[in-house]
Amino acid sequence: MTQTFTINKPPNLIFEYLTDMEKFVSVHPVISKMDDRGGENYLVHETLKLGFIPFSFTYPVIIEKNEQEKQVKILATVMKMTKIEMEFNLKKDGDYTVVTEQISFKSPLPIKFIMKSIFRKQHTQLFKNIEKLKRIPS
């Protein structure tokens, strides 16, 4: 699954919000906390709503980053059986940044269609939240 977002913010700011986990949590629509487990390893605390019922869970992620190339890769294992790989590539385009996101899912469960829908909504909101930032934090 590939998504593209054009954001009126510089690549450095977007990269910072994708790689600084406190900042990432502050703009992500469903992640409430990320515990640092050392190195590039984190434990994500997420809450999804299934209808009106909130469903909270945790899962491990690894964050790989290349600041020079403005690339971020997030590797997650959800419920010990669904592997998700997200790769973000940031490219400056005038006053904008084009974010190309490639997401792949590997699971024994037939959830790919549902996962695509969830990620489409979540990441559209994530990048809207980044674009709404009033000032560029230091």
pTM of structure: 0.91
Tell me what pLDDT residue 40 has: 95
Residues 6+ apart with CB under 8 A from 80: none
**Distance of alpha carbon 20 from alpha carbon 18, whole angstroms:** 6
Cβ neighbours around 99 below 10 Å, total: 25
* Longest CA–CA separation in the chain, Å: 43
The reported pLDDT for the residue numbered 136 is: 52
Output DSSP code: residue 109: S
Let me know if residue 19 belongs to a domain: yes
136 in a structural domain: no
Asked, for residue 120, whether it belongs to a domain, the answer is yes
Per-residue model confidence as pLDDT tens digits over 15-35: 999 999 999 999 999 999 999
d(CA 114, CA 50): 12
In-domain check, residue 137: no
pLDDT (0 to 100) of residue 110: 87
Query: CATH no. for residue 52?
Result: 3.30.530.20
Q: For residue 135, what pLDDT is reported?
A: 62
Q: What is the radius of gyration, based on Cα positions, of the chain?
A: 15
In this prediction, residue 134 carries a pLDDT of 81
**pLDDT tens for the 138 residues of the chain, in order:** 999 999 999 999 999 999 999 999 999 999 999 999 999 999 999 999 888 899 999 999 999 999 999 999 999 999 888 999 999 999 999 999 999 999 999 998 888 888 999 999 999 999 999 999 986 554
Closest CA to 49 of 79, 29, 20: 29
Strands (E), 37-135: 41-50, 53-66, 71-78, 82-93, 96-106
- List, edge to edge, every strand of the sheet that includes 2-7: 2-7, 96-106, 82-93, 71-78, 53-66, 41-50, 31-36
In a domain, 138, yes or no: no
Domain range enclosing 110: 2-131
pLDDT at position 58, please? Answer: 97
